[in-house]
Amino acid sequence: MTVRVGLIGVGVMGADHARTIVSHVPGASLHAIYDADAKRAKAIATECGAETVAASPQALIGDKNIDAVLIASPDSTHGALTMACIAAGKPVLCEKPLAPTSKDCLEVIAAEVKAGTPLVQIGYMRRFDPAYVEMKAAWKSGRLGQPLMFHCVHRNVSVPDWFTADMAIANSAVHEFDIARWVLDADLTSVHVFQPAAKTPGVIVTPVFLVLMSATGQLVNIEIFNNATYGYDVRGELVCEQGTVSLRSPVHSETSVALAQTVPYPADWRPRFADAYRLQNQAWIKAIAAGKPASGASAWDGYAATAVAEAGVRSLAEGRSVPINMVERPALYRAVSR
């Protein structure tokens, strides 16, 4: 069975998904594309050989020739479009975040619980990154003892001037919130956000530094620096009782010249997590073809990450540690920790 995918949104991330689906996901076809910019939709449809350009997201979701939907439109549209997919009974992979507010996330959860079947996967692709997979397997093997601390660094080359510290928490750090929950198999219970005082006048986005506690007593610290300038750099070290495990980035070459050695940094997240996106999208399609629930982040995980982000934004504003309060986890999401 070929899974016919409809893609909503072909900006930077959506275009990358289109190319991944047609080049690296056996068993899937890119059947339809929608984007608010019709010219951009047409260009990606032509490049990737999509059958049609849809007139609206609703037309795409309702198209009987679409088996599954991938949402990569602006964050503010994710919740409503995911609910439209649930209403249509179609599996959906929604890019992170599930929705900008936990209230909107809970509306999606209510719709999926009412539908009674897990249809939603959220695009927290680091769960499929081979380095994070090995990190989790290393501590689950028992060789390292219990995890104690999880050090995380997440640096972008640059972001636009309008990209605020709150967005660094809600748009960037949500990846660490999700991957910390997944690696540790534990929810996060409190967050305290700091910023350095030192900065050049006029620099808009300075680093944010977050300290979180997990429900099983681990400390998680996250540095988000979105104007690091030197390269896209994501690091992680899980410190356990008898050992540590650190991420290694997928580097394929080292250049030696003029008495120097250089190893390239990627310019943004797409090359660093290319394997993660391929593996995520392959697993999503494979589960759909097999009639099984997705193995990636669920709508509950999407809600959890947004709830942590909301507490983090409040902590930064109020200058104190903030508890992360979540509602009771519905049975639909208790079955397995994905």
Binding site for ligand ISE (CB under 6 A): 156, 171-172, 175, 269
Nearer to ligand ISE, 45 or 210 (CB): 210
CA distances from 176 to 86, 221, 260, 272 (A): 27, 9, 33, 15
| Residue of 116, 99, 100 lying closest to 108 (CA atoms) | 99
Q: Which residue of this chain has its Cβ atom nearest to ligand ISE in the complex?
A: 172
CB of 99 to ligand ISE, least distance (A): 15
Nearer to ligand ISE, 115 or 204 (CB): 204
Contacting residues for 313 by C-beta, under 8 A, at least 6 apart: 166, 169, 170, 193
CB of 182 to ligand ISE, least distance (A): 15
CB 35, CB 14: distance < 8 Å = yes
Nearer to ligand ISE, 16 or 107 (CB): 16
CA distances from 66 to 8, 109, 150, 304, 338 (A): 12, 23, 41, 29, 26
| Bridge partners (DSSP) listed for residue 238 | 150, 245
- Phi and psi, residue 238, nearest 5°: -100, 115
Nearer to ligand ISE, 19 or 42 (CB): 19
Nearer to ligand ISE, 172 or 306 (CB): 172
CB of 131 to ligand ISE, least distance (A): 14
CB of 44 to ligand ISE, least distance (A): 19
CB of 247 to ligand ISE, least distance (A): 14
CB of 165 to ligand ISE, least distance (A): 13
Peptide bond into 97 cis (omega under 30): yes
Nearer to ligand ISE, 17 or 175 (CB): 175
